[in-house]
Amino acid sequence: MKVKFNLKSPNADFETFIICKVTYQSKQVRVYTDKKIHPLQWLPKEQRANKKLKTYAELNAYLTKLENFILKLELDWKNDKSSGKVTPIIPESLIKDGVRKFCEKYTIEEKQELLNNSFWGFYNDRLEMMNEGTRVSKKDNTPLAPKTIFQYHNLKRHLEAFQKSKNVVLEFETINMSFYEDFLRYTTVKKGLSPNTIGKLITLIKVLLREAYEKGISTNQIYLNSNFKSISSISDTVYLNNDEIKELQELDLSKRPSLERVRDAFLVGCFTGLRFSDLTRVRPRNIENGMIVITQQKTTYEVAIPMLKEVVEILARYEYSIPDISNKNYNEHLHELCSKCEILNKMVTTKAIRGGKVIETTQPKYELVTSHTARRSFATNEFKKGELTIGEIMVLTGHKTEKSFLRYIRETKKETALRIQEKFRLRELKQASLVEHHLKAV
């Protein structure tokens, strides 16, 4: 009897199973072991791991023990069945069952622990905790927002599709720079995702790796590598200026109450900077001393926003409760609503990166308006007025860093130039006035 070991996929660029091949009396039995190895870490002639594998000594000792175990099976069979006559051929089932028993030597509890400590075992455990509300935010020890939980489920779908595409199984040790580059290429070229979307996926992967390391489940610290970064790009998204918002306010929608409700909710967003998820939760209990006081669903931070007279007038019509509507229906109604504004029918050209290419699109501005346009419009318009500091606006929007806030500002270079031009004009007038006052005094 001869015992040999070879790889399931010897030419693969990923870890593959080690197969045990037993040959005896013109018979051949192939059984999968429970061990995997990358072909670059394997010596085909010696049928053992090379020193590129950190645990090569342990793996080689394991394979030697398995080989001796199989040879002992044959010896025990012969000793048991030999009676001076011809010894019966050892059954294939005895060899297969013996190898499987050797490889599956762990108890149920040990197997479960090994599963939990695998990448997917850890990931699924985190998802279960998120759904239960027991996986909390490190910042304030509160349950994760539904949108954040959805993003983790979305990442799982992308990683599973990536595995299938590459014919690999992700483990902590295989998430390296090679994986990073392959995943970027896959999500960019094959899936056509935007840099910002891909960046969010990478950020979540880094969070999982960090948590697994901190809990002692993994030793992988690739998330600290400066090249393992979350990519991003600033996309062309629109905001509504004061003139556009005013035209929306003045639309006669008395014959379209459904559009009127959408318009009013959108305007409240333009005057408060509330996200759609927070806007639709405004109730009388959120009104305190002329302010909307609400805990943001996404960040769990509480914000207090002074109400402008336009906001008071709108909320009063609805007894201080924003009409309930789904985000999908809201955005569909917004397009119809904004198409009624002449000023929003003007054509605008935007650029976006998709599939690694810059895509330029020209379309009516109203088609680009979404529920989030209201929050962006509030931030941009208040920034342009210059009456509030960036820090003060951030208090209202709930942004924690100036960098994240400035990504909301959609003032064009031309608009910036015109605003600076007006400042120059006012400065010159002020200087001229001071000179004239000085001459009169003399």
pLDDT (tens place) for every residue of the chain, 442 residues total: 889 999 988 888 888 889 889 988 888 888 888 888 999 999 999 999 999 988 888 889 889 988 988 888 888 888 877 666 666 788 888 888 888 778 775 555 655 665 667 888 889 888 988 888 888 777 667 778 788 889 999 999 999 999 989 888 888 888 999 999 999 999 988 888 888 899 999 999 999 999 998 888 888 899 999 999 998 766 657 899 999 999 999 999 999 998 999 999 999 999 999 999 899 999 999 999 999 999 998 877 899 999 999 999 999 999 999 877 877 788 889 999 999 999 999 998 877 766 667 777 889 999 999 999 999 999 999 998 888 999 999 999 998 888 888 877 766 667 777 777 877 888 888 887 777 766 666 6
Pair 91, 176 in one domain: no
d(C-alpha 7, C-alpha 385), whole Å? 68
What b/e string do you get for 238-275 counting C-beta neighbours within 10 Å, with b at 16 or more?
A: bbbbeebbebbeeeebeebeebbbbbbbbbbbbbbbbb
Are 360 and 351 in contact, with CB atoms under 8 Å apart?
Answer: yes
230 in a structural domain: no
Of 196, 224, 252, which residue constitutes the final position of a domain?
224
Pair 133, 84 in one domain: no
Pair 53, 99 in one domain: yes
Pair 304, 252 in one domain: yes
Look at strands 357-364 and 48-49 and give their pairing. unpaired
Domain tally, the chain: 4
Question: How many CB atoms sit inside 10 A of residue 48's CB?
Answer: 19
Pair 285, 378 in one domain: yes
Pair 204, 162 in one domain: yes
Of 105, 135, 160, which residue constitutes the final position of a domain?
105
DSSP 136: B
183 in a structural domain: yes
Pair 252, 384 in one domain: yes
Where in the sequence is the domain holding 435, given as residue range(s)? Answer: 417-442
Pair 273, 398 in one domain: yes
Pair 273, 402 in one domain: yes
* pTM assigned to the model: 0.58
d(C-alpha 201, C-alpha 152), whole Å? 8
Domain of 386: which CATH number?
1.10.443.10
Pair 7, 152 in one domain: no
